[in-house]
Amino acid sequence: MKKIYLLLIISLLIWGGTTNSYAKYTLNCTAKVLHIEYFDENPSETKPATLSGKILTENLQGHYSLVTLYKNSDINHEQPILQIETNQDGTFCFENVEKGVYDIVVSKEIYLNYTVLAIKLRPGRNVVLDDYLLIAGDFEAPFGNITIYDWNAILRNRYKPLTEANKLFDINCDGLIDKLDSDIVYKNYLKSEEIVEWQK
């Protein structure tokens, strides 16, 4: 069996050498699985990059939110480059992005913003951000934190009939303002907007 794996790896290396790609392989001896990834050796300096990820919410009907792309040099985030809405499952993808350093800001009503700074996009690369669950319950000023004012607001509306005026308190969108919603605010009590720097 070891001879078969050795021949397979040698064959892949030879085959990879005849193209513009090379193989990066790892061998799991326990599961006997050969995992191969291909990378462009010389990506064009003008070839665009992609940036994707998945943003989750407490909404049972769909994980919709807005993701805005900024140049990292735009410190105050005043000039958005692109803005897209996530898909129902929370996924998003910015395509055909020029190489550079970018920030993203994720926003949604009654949720705290989530910001990722200094994402480095290189030509021809696909950067995938870690999944993130937005923090819900930001109903009342001061915004940007889950405070006692937000907790009192959900308690005032808990178990009341759902109307146009109070529908935002139905955080999980199940048609009721109940303990499930107030538990979300309790879980997030005293949390603040998250601003993180890209680590990869």
Query: Cβ contacts of residue 1 below 8 Å, gap of 6+?
Result: 32
> What residue type is 173 in one-letter code?
C
- Rounded distance, CA 71 to CA 104, Å? 9
Q: Which two tokens stand for residue 124?
A: 């021809």
Q: What is the pTM of this model?
A: 0.76
- Rounded distance, CA 36 to CA 34, Å? 6
**Superfamily (CATH) of domain 49-135+192-197:** Immunoglobulins (2.60.40.10)
Angle, alpha carbons 74-76-79 (nearest 5°): 55
Report the candidate in 194, 190, 168, 193 with the shortest Cα–Cα distance to residue 181: 168
For the segment 70-120, what is each residue's pLDDT rounded down to a tens digit?
999 999 999 999 999 999 999 999 999 999 999 999 999 999 999 999 999
Report the candidate in 134, 133, 92 with the shortest Cα–Cα distance to residue 113: 134
Q: How many residues does the chain have?
A: 200
Under the banding of pLDDT at 50, 70 and 90, the label for residue 9 is very low
CB-based contact 53:87 (threshold 8 Å): no
- pLDDT, residue 47, reads 86
Centre a 10 Å sphere on the Cβ of residue 198 and count the other Cβ atoms it contains: 17
Q: Where in the chain is the domain with CATH 2.60.40.10?
A: 49-135+192-197
For the segment 43-72, what is each residue's pLDDT rounded down to a tens digit?
556 789 999 999 999 999 999 999 999 999
